[in-house]
Chains A and B, each alone.
Chain A
Amino acid sequence: GAVVSQHPSWVICKSGTSVKIECRSLDFQATTMFWYRQFPKQSLMLMATSNEGSKATYEQGVEKDKFLINHASLTLSTLTVTSAHPEDSSFYICSARDSSRGFREQFFGPGTRLTVL
């Protein structure tokens, strides 16, 4: 149990276009989901915390108008990178917390590798 999926697993897009990444908790309800980005050989940096039915909380330095997050249901959160630029190329990983298990463990999706040309 406790599986988190992401789609797509990789995407290549042209500069200026928008890309949507989906994160789903497959067998549990996730009131809270998190979005991270990871540059090669670096750590995971939290971008935003997404709570079902409310606005996402963004970390300092993350542009909320550029990285749109929607958490419309207990099993789905989406991240849309708007007007993508080459510097947005990164590995984006979502994670979800199983509400019934408290906050002890976060389950991570397999990540989405975004390349902006």
Chain B
Amino acid sequence: GQSLEQPSEVTAVEGAIVQINCTYQTSGFYGLSWYQQHDGGAPTFLSYNALDGLEETGRFSSFLSRSDSYGYLLLQELQMKDSASYFCAAYSGAGSYQLTFGKGTKLSVIP
């Protein structure tokens, strides 16, 4: 089966940096994505890593190590609006490339 593990909750101070880790066990793994979801809203795409290394998009960076089955999302210069749930999700399987989500990490940014 497919499984992704990430911390359930993280609290950080406004302006700080926070890292959300994700370990995965998936067969036919293609890549790791990160999605943000505010309460009551739809998930929005943040990043995708297919290869090892760091991908940077503004204040957000994502890292993947395929040999370690591990990735993380790094959020810099935290803002109050970053308070949301963050899901790592793995692409796997031939054909339809299904996306399997982790259980999500609820990030609370405090003043």
Whether the Cβ atoms of B97 and A44 lie closer than 8 Å is: no
Interface segment, one of B20-28, B38-46, B67-75: B38-46
Tell yes or no: A107 within 8 A of B by CB: yes
Contact yes or no, B104 A43, CB < 8 A: yes
- Contact-residue size bin, chain B (C-beta under 8 Å from the other chain): 20 to 34
Contacts of A77 in B (CB 8 A): none
Q: Are B103 and A42 in contact (CB under 8 A)?
A: yes
Within 8 A of B (CB), among A59-107: 93, 95, 97, 103-107
B98 at the interface (CB under 8 A from A): yes
| Cα A110 to Cα B39 with chains together (Å) | 11
B104 and A104 contact, CB distance less than 8 A = no
Whether A106 contacts B101 in the complex (CB less than 8 A), given A44-B87, A111-B41, A111-B42, comes out as no
A45 to B99, CA, bound (A): 10
A110 CB to closest chain B CB (Å) equals: 5
Contact residues of A: prevailing secondary structure:
strand
Most chain B beta-carbon contacts within 10 A, residue among A32, A103, A107, A111: A103
Nearest B residue to A6, CB-CB? B42
Roughly how many angstroms separate A43 CA and B99 CA in the complex, as a whole number?
12
B29-87 interface (Cβ within 8 A of A): 30-31, 33, 35, 40-45, 48, 50, 87
Among all A-B residue pairs, the 9 with the closest Cβ atoms: A103-B97, A108-B42, A43-B103, A44-B101, A43-B101, A110-B42, A108-B43, A49-B96, A105-B45
Chain B residues in contact with chain A, CB under 8 A? Answer: 30-31, 33, 35, 40-45, 48, 50, 87, 91, 96-104, 106
